[in-house]
Amino acid sequence: MTFPRDFTWGVATSSYQIEGHAMGGGRGASVWDEFCATPGRVNGGHTGAVSCDHYHHYASDVQLMRDLGLRAYRFSVAWSRVMPTGRRPVNAAGLAFYDRLVDSLLEARIEPWLTLFHWDYPLALYREGGWLHPDSPRWFADYTRVIVDKLSDRVRHWMTLNEPQCFIGLGHQTGIHAPGDKLPLDRTLLAAHHTLLAHGLAVQTIRSRAKLPPVIGWAPTGDVPTPATDCPEDIAAARETFWRVPADNTWNMAWWLDPVMRGRYPEQGLHAYGAAAPAFTDAEMRTIHQPIDFIGLNLYRGYDCRRGADGSPENLTSTPGTPATHNHWNLHPAALRWGPFFTHERYGLPVVITENGMAAHDWVSLDGEVHDPQRTDFLARYLMELRRAVRDGVRVKGYFAWSLLDNFEWSEGYRYRFGLVHVDYATQRRTPKDSAWWYGECARTNGASLPAAAPARSLQPAGRA
């Protein structure tokens, strides 16, 4: 058995990372504009002000996707492009941009997968309190309504929030990302609670107003502990670690997914966070707990885990020389087998890999091409593990490679290139990398072009931590 017949093969981007035209077309500032303008926040003082200038190049970018044989495109809408202050009035020019984008995607027979929020929070709303404000879920729901009313006659696939762990953890607790806050844990978890409410209200809004029957999910993220061997004890140790909520940060899956899927915070998490956990009502938990259609997972990294001698899970460290990407993320393809497996096992909902990919040291060669054999190898290895998840019985519905284009990698600026397509930022010239053609072929053949067997050699020999 290989990938299901209706499997979705796509590529992903996000608004602030590619659009540019940051202060044009009536767009209002987001927290990322301000963060980038603050000296010392972003590598090299880079900003998303121009980036890939996708705002002006969207039509040829869509053509490019079509030429590559890609059938689905996950993009995000910039809230402050559509509502410059985060609230009404609506900026017609901003909304019109997404209208045109969706039309050109459909014309090219590419299915739009729309993410409502990928971190570019309206600055004006942030100044009113942002995600800490008790009205923030309603602000988000009203924005959602504007987008749904405009685009749901053509868009069927919706994602509410991208990686809440990141924009809350990095944005509000450690301050590495915009808005750069360093809140104590209880305030961080209050902001987190409001994002969950925002998710729930947005799902209700989509469900009640969408013109085409909607398919709704969201896109949490995490590093995946994977069993060091296939023996049941190690699998159990990895599972336990995957769902564990740590006491002092927001990097975990259960705190985010249990409220959405089960209508309650996980007991172990409530215990771990103790007095820092937010106050909540039953009605709020019911709002968060809306039926959704799939769980998106943004998965990049992982590590091996086994049952230790004292019975508790033990994480294994990778040995020196383990393959890593340009931004020093260890390769760990098994993340794409076990992340979907554990998630599907716990909640029983279909899973979509909403992001996966790597930064490589890419440049245009003398022959005018971009040769990125490492990315091709990365994608093949990860996809083969995803295929194993399918064989294990996990309902995996799709896979989106991060990213279509090289782009603005948040606090790292333009240092890392994640694209299947190389971008020369000085000329805006796009050059599909070798991996882009390879991935297009994989998509066209529904994965049949992948190597048949699992890799002979383990990628990541592990030693005891």
How far is 62 from 73, CA to CA, in rounded Å? 9
Nearer to ligand FCB, 19 or 409 (CB): 409
Size of the site for ligand FCB (CB under 6 A): 12
* Binding residues among 325-364 for ligand FCB as defined by CB under 6 A: 355
Residue 64 CB coordination number (10 Å):
19
With contacts defined by CB under 6 A, name the span among 41-49, 82-90, 185-193, 402-410 that binds ligand FCB: 402-410
Rounded to a whole number of angstroms, the minimum distance from the CB of residue 169 to ligand FCB is 11
Nearer to ligand FCB, 296 or 440 (CB): 296
* Binding residues among 206-225 for ligand FCB as defined by CB under 6 A: 221
Q: Could you say which of 256, 265, 402, 438 contacts ligand FCB (CB under 6 A)?
A: 402
With contacts defined by CB under 6 A, name the span among 26-34, 158-166, 232-240, 362-370 that binds ligand FCB: 158-166
Q: Does 414 bind ligand FCB (CB under 6 A)?
A: no
Rounded to a whole number of angstroms, the minimum distance from the CB of residue 17 to ligand FCB is 6
Catalytic residue among 284, 314, 355, 409: 355
Q: Could you say which of 166, 183, 196, 405 contacts ligand FCB (CB under 6 A)?
A: 166
- Active-site residue, 163 included: yes
Q: Does 410 bind ligand FCB (CB under 6 A)?
A: yes
- Secondary structure of 180-229 as H, E, C letters: CCCCCHHHHHHHHHHHHHHHHHHHHHHHHHCCCCCEEEEECECCEEEECC
Tell me how far CA of residue 1 lies from CA of 11, 188, 305, 393, in angstroms: 24, 44, 28, 10
Strand partners for 402: 12
Rounded to a whole number of angstroms, the minimum distance from the CB of residue 138 to ligand FCB is 25
Rounded to a whole number of angstroms, the minimum distance from the CB of residue 215 to ligand FCB is 20
Contacts 24+ apart (CB under 8 A), 89-97: 90/146, 91/25, 91/26, 91/27, 91/28, 92/26, 93/25, 93/26, 94/25, 94/26, 94/27, 95/146, 95/150, 97/25, 97/55, 97/58
| Cβ-based burial of 225 (10 A; exposed 0-12, middle 13-18, buried ≥19) | buried
* Binding residues among 87-126 for ligand FCB as defined by CB under 6 A: none
User: In the sheet that 313-318 helps form, which strands lie side by side, from edge to edge?
Assistant: 224-227, 302-307, 313-318, 462-464
| Nearest residue to ligand FCB on Cβ basis | 163
User: Which string of x and - marks every residue 276-305 that binds ligand FCB (by CB under 6 A)?
Assistant: ----------------------x-------
Nearer to ligand FCB, 163 or 385 (CB): 163
Q: Does 165 bind ligand FCB (CB under 6 A)?
A: no
Rounded to a whole number of angstroms, the minimum distance from the CB of residue 274 to ligand FCB is 28
Q: Could you say which of 75, 242, 265, 418 contacts ligand FCB (CB under 6 A)?
A: 418
Catalytic residue among 163, 284, 314, 409: 163
* Binding residues among 424-463 for ligand FCB as defined by CB under 6 A: none
Q: Does 409 bind ligand FCB (CB under 6 A)?
A: yes
Q: Could you say which of 47, 115, 136, 162 contacts ligand FCB (CB under 6 A)?
A: 162
Rounded to a whole number of angstroms, the minimum distance from the CB of residue 329 to ligand FCB is 9
Nearer to ligand FCB, 221 or 287 (CB): 221
Catalytic machinery residues: 163, 355
Binding site for ligand FCB (CB under 6 A): 14, 17, 162-163, 166, 221, 298, 355, 402, 409-410, 418
